[in-house]
């Protein structure tokens, strides 16, 4: 939830990047079982195989070796990761492409179960601000974000940016 603080600053209590699951939260946080892990590994191999075939210039910001290393690393870790951690890790691999057209946005597909706050944030040179908000939170527009959970706004932004295909850090 959002809370307005002094000088128009806001504090977001839950961490922005952490998914919120509508059902069976304990199950969602558990590591993948053997068959789930194998299905995730198959999906990862398929993605890694298809990306170079489908993207016109996949290696413009990374090398083939960097992609293969990231895929290998995730493949090894999948059995110890929960579903939401696997999804974020896959999004981070896709974000390595470094263009705004190649991305995974888990909040766009309700089946994935990630949710988004009813605000749009933008990182200007002088800080992270609420750029737009749902009507119920319109009073937050223009507020500077100081913290998101236990992280400074810069730390939270950097953590989320690693999973995003954003091409620039500053406006």
Angle separating helix axes 34-54 and 83-95, nearest 10 degrees: 10
5: Cα within 13 Å, side-chain hemisphere: 12
Q: For 69-125, what is each residue's pLDDT tens digit? A: 999 999 999 999 999 999 989 999 998 998 888 888 888 888 888 888 899 999 899
Domain ranges in the chain are: 2-16+117-161, 25-108
pTM for the model? 0.69
């Amino acid at each position: 939830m959002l809370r307005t603080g002094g000088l128009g600053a806001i504090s977001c209590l839950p961490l922005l990047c952490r998914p919120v699951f509508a059902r069976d939260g304990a199950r969602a946080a558990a590591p993948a079982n053997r068959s789930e892990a194998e299905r995730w590994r198959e999906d990862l191999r398929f993605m890694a195989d298809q990306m170079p075939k489908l993207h016109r210039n996949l290696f413009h910001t990374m090398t083939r070796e960097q992609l293969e290393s990231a895929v290998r690393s995730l493949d090894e870790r999948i059995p110890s990761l929960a579903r939401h951690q696997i999804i974020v890790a896959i999004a981070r691999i896709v974000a390595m492409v470094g263009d705004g057209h190649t991305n995974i946005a888990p909040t766009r597909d309700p089946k994935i179960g990630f949710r988004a706050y009813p605000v749009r944030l933008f990182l200007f040179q002088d800080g992270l601000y609420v750029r737009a908000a749902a009507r119920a939170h319109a009073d937050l527009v223009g507020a500077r974000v100081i913290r998101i959970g236990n992280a400074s706004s810069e730390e939270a932004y950097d953590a989320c940016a690693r999973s995003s295909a954003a091409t620039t850090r500053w406006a």
